[in-house]
């Protein structure tokens, strides 16, 4: 079952700079929520707070009914929130398949981290699932290659794949389409959409407007660390404050 | 399957190799030669153990002498206090390993909080603490040291029990290295080497994983230290806790191939006898150490990831170059381009 990820009244300052002020955002269960805003508006900071990489100065983070404010990234992942990074972080000197086996398995109990030798049926099952997922994202042909040899786009697919293998309830994607060629962007959008149809919840930071507008059910717009609009893509697109702050006059052309 | 037959042939090669090592002291009975063999096998144990911690996790320890010396002193003290003698002393080796492993827990809990250079410096600091303690404490006999019991074995085959004890330890350490390399635990160690924070963010419990590796590594290192002290028949601080020991271990691992299974074996079997031989040949005992230092420079400059991985790269690049030459297109082989490919492959 998937849960709703909610951040409520989050504020965060770095030195004297207010990165986020009283931000509230909901990634509703079973939906794809977009988070957009100009560079430096605080999107990644909000992601970092939601996934435990940074602590908020005030405000709370909830996954379903569970408060996860200030939990370590390790814990947050264990609770079922997976994420990718704007600058993709894979394990370059492990093979693609090995990368897939790094994430702790929620099914394997809390001690999935150490021990049990990696043998046996559970391990074989995990390998099969890893290969299935790699086939799903389209990089199964590289399973035995070192991850460091993958292209930028393939790394993005790998990061998405290994986040998915742990069956997170909510997946946070930080600029999945950034710096990726257009056909791969479409491929990614299709995959995300398909996973969403299977019930997976997504929260996506993205600059590619076409990507966001076509994919997301809800969009939240950040500007200077505050939420200036939340609504359907169409609502957000027509919101005057959003037009002023971010989209400028040339909307709709992507 | 192809990988299946490859595994079988590799397994056969390992069996033949171990069998050759087992008959070695029966063929070469000269005490100098078997002494070289014992030292080399002790280093096979230590370098393999060092490597499955440092090589896999990327946490380069320059303080394994702490565990080596702890095992050594424990063996001497335990043999004296509990009246062990002869081959009975060998039964103390697992205990010596255990004591070193216990020492590794606080060392790890402190040092593993920091990374890279800071970790290296921390391990050096622990090394000096251990050496100073051994020099100044009564239990270690201070600077004059302690003497282990001398076995009354027949002079002709005096070295053989030591040799076989060292061989068993070496085989166990390499087996542990192999098992860890294949396990989920080993995968987590290598993930930590590549990006520790990311691994933690994927639910890997990094501290327990690192600490377990260090403790296991200390266990084998402590056993090896125990055997070495028993063999040389003397335990004085400057040799039991020897900074050159740490450098030698790191050099052997780098020489053979950091993070590989066979690399540490190769490094130990080549460099330890080589160093011993230089030390014998050179009237001035520092000559061999200077040569060792030069070798270190050469390896870091030209074979930064070791003979095995880099050798494989040159082979791959050479083959590619040959293929290109045959097909008529000329271009210079570039080992650097394939460097990332050979790196993670297991051996």
- The string of DSSP codes covering B100-162 is HHHHHHHHHHHHTTS-HHHHHHHHHHHHHHHHHHHHH-TTTTGGG-B-PPPP---GGGTTHHH
> CA of B206: which chain A residue's CA is closest?
A113
For B54-115, where are the alpha helices, taking DSSP H only? 56-57, 65-81, 93-111
Nearest in space to B134 (alpha carbons), one of B147, B121, B150, B145: B145
Most A CBs within 10 Å, among B203, B257, B305, B306, to test the A interface = B203
Backbone phi and psi for residue A31, each to the nearest 5 degrees, phi listed first:
-115, 170
In terms of domains, do B170 and B262 share one?
Answer: yes
Interchain CB distance below 8 Å, B187 and A149: no
CB B138 within 8 A of CB B102: no
In terms of domains, do B56 and B140 share one?
Answer: yes
Assigned domain for B347 exists:
yes
**What are the residues whose beta carbons fall under 8 Å from the beta carbon of B221, sequence distance 6 or more?**
B45, B46, B49, B50, B64, B67, B68, B71, B97, B100
Backbone phi and psi for residue B293, each to the nearest 5 degrees, phi listed first:
-60, -45
> A85 to chain B, minimum CA–CA distance in Å?
10
> CA of A105: which chain B residue's CA is closest?
B203
> A84 to chain B, minimum CA–CA distance in Å?
10
In terms of domains, do B241 and B278 share one?
Answer: yes
Count of alpha carbons within 13 angstroms of residue A44, beta-carbon side: 11
User: Tokens in use for B312?
Assistant: 């494989």
In terms of domains, do B168 and B109 share one?
Answer: yes
DSSP per-residue letters across B12-30: HHHHHHHHHHHHHHHH---
**CATH code assigned at B275:** 1.10.3470
Instruction: State the residue range of the domain holding B314.
Output: 305-347
Burial of A137 (0-12, 13-18, 19+ CB in 10 A): buried
Going by DSSP bridges, is the β-strand pair A170-174/A201-205 parallel, antiparallel, or unpaired?
Answer: parallel
> A18 to chain B, minimum CA–CA distance in Å?
26
User: Tokens in use for A237?
Assistant: 């697109």
CA-CA distance, A173 to A189, in Å (whole number)? 12
Q: Does domain A5-89+168-247 have CATH number 3.40.50.300?
A: yes
Interchain CB distance below 8 Å, B198 and A89: yes
Taking only the tens of pLDDT, chain A with its 254 residues reads 467 888 888 888 888 888 888 888 988 888 899 998 888 888 888 889 999 898 988 889 998 888 889 888 888 898 889 999 988 899 999 999 999 999 877 544 433 333 344 456 777 888 888 898 898 888 888 888 888 888 888 898 999 899 888 888 899 999 888 888 888 888 888 889 998 898 889 999 988 888 888 889 999 888 888 888 888 888 888 888 877 776 554 444 44
Q: What stretch of H or E contains A123? A: helix A120-137
- Count of domains in chain B? 2
CB B199 within 8 A of CB B188: yes
Chain B touched by A151 (CB under 8 Å)? no
Assigned domain for B2 exists:
no
In terms of domains, do B198 and B215 share one?
Answer: yes
Chain B touched by A155 (CB under 8 Å)? no
Residues in chain B whose Cβ is within 8 Å of chain A:
179, 182-185, 187-188, 190-191, 193-195, 197-206, 208-209, 212, 340-341, 343-344
In terms of domains, do B280 and B341 share one?
Answer: no
CA-CA distance, B314 to A144, in Å (whole number)? 21
Nearest in space to B124 (alpha carbons), one of B209, B213, B60: B60
Interchain CB distance below 8 Å, B204 and A162: no
User: Does B338 have pLDDT greater than 50?
Assistant: no
CB B127 within 8 A of CB B65: yes
pLDDT score at B328: 60
**ipTM of this complex prediction, to 2 decimal places:** 0.82
Residues in chain B: 347
Assigned domain for B21 exists:
no
Assigned domain for B316 exists:
yes
Interchain CB distance below 8 Å, B190 and A77: no
> CA of B210: which chain A residue's CA is closest?
A114
pLDDT band at B8 (very low <50, low <70, confident <90, very high): confident
Q: What angle do CA B121, B123, B124 make, to 5 degrees?
A: 65
In terms of domains, do B261 and B339 share one?
Answer: no
Assigned domain for B172 exists:
yes
User: Tokens in use for A11?
Assistant: 């504020």
pLDDT score at B192: 94
Domain coordinates of chain A in residue numbers? 5-89+168-247
Residues of A in contact with B185 (CB under 8 A): 114-115, 117-118
pLDDT score at B95: 94
Option in B193, B194, B201 nearest A74 (CB): B201
pLDDT in tens, B96-147: 999 999 999 999 999 999 888 899 999 999 998 988 888 888 777 777 778 8
Chain B touched by A115 (CB under 8 Å)? yes
Nearest in space to B194 (alpha carbons), one of A10, A146, A189, A166: A146
CA-CA distance, B191 to A97, in Å (whole number)? 12
- C-alpha radius of gyration, chain B, whole number: 21
Average pLDDT over residues B190-197: 93
In terms of domains, do B135 and B240 share one?
Answer: yes
Chain B touched by A114 (CB under 8 Å)? yes
In terms of domains, do B185 and B175 share one?
Answer: yes
In terms of domains, do B245 and B174 share one?
Answer: yes
In terms of domains, do B184 and B300 share one?
Answer: yes
In terms of domains, do B53 and B178 share one?
Answer: yes
């Amino acid at each position: 079952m998937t849960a709703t990820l909610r951040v409520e009244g989050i504020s965060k300052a770095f030195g004297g700079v207010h990165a986020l002020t009283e931000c509230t955002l909901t990634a509703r269960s079973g939906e794809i929520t977009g988070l957009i805003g100009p560079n430096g508006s605080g999107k990644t900071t909000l992601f970092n707070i939601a996934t435990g990489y940074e602590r908020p100065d005030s405000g709370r983070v909830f996954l379903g009914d569970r408060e996860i404010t200030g939990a370590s990234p390790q814990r947050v992942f264990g609770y079922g929130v997976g994420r990718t990074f704007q600058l993709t972080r894979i394990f370059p000197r492990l093979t693609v398949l090995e990368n897939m086996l790094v994430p702790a398995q929620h099914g394997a109990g809390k001690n999935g981290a150490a021990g049990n030798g990696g043998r046996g049926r559970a391990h074989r099952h995990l390998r099969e699932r890893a290969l299935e997922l790699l086939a799903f994202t389209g990089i199964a042909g590289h399973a035995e290659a070192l991850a460091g040899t993958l292209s930028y786009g393939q790394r993005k697919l790998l990061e998405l794949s290994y986040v998915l293998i742990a069956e997170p309830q909510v997946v946070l994607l930080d600029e999945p389409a950034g710096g990726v060629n257009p056909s791969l962007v479409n491929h990614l959008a299709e995959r995300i959409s398909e996973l969403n149809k299977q019930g997976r919840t997504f929260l996506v930071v993205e600059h590619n407007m076409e990507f966001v507008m076509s994919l997301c059910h809800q969009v939240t717009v950040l500007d200077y660390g505050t939420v200036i609009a939340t609504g359907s893509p169409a609502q957000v697109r027509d919101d005057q404050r959003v037009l002023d702050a971010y989209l400028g006059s040339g909307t709709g052309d992507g | 399957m192809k990988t299946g037959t490859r595994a079988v042939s590799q397994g056969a090669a390992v069996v033949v190799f171990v069998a050759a090592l087992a008959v070695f002291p029966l063929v070469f009975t000269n005490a100098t030669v078997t002494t070289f063999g014992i030292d080399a096998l002790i280093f096979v144990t230590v370098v393999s153990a060092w490597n499955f911690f440092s090589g896999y996790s990327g946490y380069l320890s320059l303080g394994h002498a702490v565990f080596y010396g702890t095992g050594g002193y424990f063996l001497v003290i335990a043999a004296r206090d509990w009246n062990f003698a002869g081959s009975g002393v060998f039964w103390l080796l697992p205990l010596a390993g255990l004591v070193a492993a216990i020492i590794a827990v606080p060392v790890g809990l402190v040092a593993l909080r920091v990374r890279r250079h800071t970790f290296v410096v921390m391990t050096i600091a622990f090394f000096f603490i251990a050496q100073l303690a051994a020099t100044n404490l009564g239990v270690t006999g201070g600077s004059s040291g302690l003497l282990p019991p001398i076995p009354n074995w027949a002079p002709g085959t005096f070295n053989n029990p030591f040799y076989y004890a060292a061989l068993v330890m070496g085989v166990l350490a390499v087996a542990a290295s192999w098992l860890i390399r294949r396990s989920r635990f080993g995968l987590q160690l290598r993930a930590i080497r590549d990006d520790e924070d990311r691994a933690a963010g994927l639910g890997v419990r990094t501290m327990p994983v690192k600490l377990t590796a260090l403790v296991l590594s200390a266990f084998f290192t402590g056993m090896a230290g125990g055997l070495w002290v028993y063999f040389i028949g003397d335990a004085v601080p400057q040799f039991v806790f020897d900074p050159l020991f740490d450098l030698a271990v790191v050099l052997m691992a780098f020489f053979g191939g950091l993070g590989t299974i066979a690399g540490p074996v190769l490094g130990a079997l080549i460099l330890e006898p080589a160093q011993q031989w230089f030390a014998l040949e050179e009237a001035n005992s520092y000559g061999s150490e200077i040569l060792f230092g030069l070798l270190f420079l050469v390896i870091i400059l030209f074979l930064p990831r070791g003979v095995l991985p880099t050798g494989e790269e040159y082979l791959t690049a050479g083959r590619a170059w040959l293929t290109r030459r045959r097909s008529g297109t000329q271009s210079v082989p570039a080992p650097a381009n394939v460097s990332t490919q050979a790196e993670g492959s297991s051996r």
